[in-house]
Amino acid sequence: MTTEPDPQMSGTAEGLIVFLDWAGRTGQLGSNTAAAYKTAVTQVLEIDGEAWTATNIQGLDVEHQLDRFARLRANRYNPTSLRTYGNRFRAAVAHYRNYLEDPTTFRTNQSKGTRAKDSERPQPSGPGGASKGNERARRAGVSSGVGGATEAADLVQYPFPLRTQVMAYLSLPRDLRRSEAQRIAAFVASLAIDSESDLGAGQQEGS
């Protein structure tokens, strides 16, 4: 009787995706964090074409890959979004490599009972710390005053019906400017998972 190899232990990009699914499902990572990491992994590696899932993550030169990604996607994402994807990709790869070293003792900060630090929710996007709404606004570039982010007391939380049975909440300054709203819209758009047609275009460009 033969035993099927565990794809999560393959050390490939496919294994990384399976690992992130597992981490989000088991609480090793927050479900939103795991989903954001999966999006970043897909975006960064798909520049290598349809066979990107076979990429050897253990032997990958992360910084070289990110340099290529930044060059090939400069016309699609602004510098802030490129940095966000880069930081998320680094974090995902680091977690996966640590897991492969010893799956039995693998733990993340979140699995130890603490909220993800900035390294778990890479700069400049995503929530973190106790003031989630304030952090979201600050990382999206919405701030006021001199030398600091908007105080939580100056933020208003707006519910937004994203889809059926899913309510999103935006914490924004009372005096939100049009330019800031446009920046937020562009930032949120950069987090979306591309359609199949977009993925095909990306594969052709990176091939």
Inter-CA distances, 126 with 51, 141, 200, Å: 29, 12, 27
Minimal CA–CA distance to 55: which of 96, 103, 101? 96
pTM equals 0.54
pLDDT in the model for residue 176: 83
Other beta carbons within 10 Å of 188: 13
**In whole angstroms, what is the distance from residue 191 CA to residue 116 CA?**
19
* Better-scored residue on pLDDT, 27 or 188: 27
- Tens of pLDDT, residue by residue over 131-183, are 444 444 344 443 333 334 434 446 777 777 877 777 777 778 878 888 888 88
Q: Which residue has the tokens 């990491």?
A: 37
**Segments making up each domain of the chain, as ranges:** 7-113+193-207, 133-176
The CA-atom distances, in angstroms, between 1 and each of 4, 6, 47, 115, 205 are 10, 16, 39, 43, 44
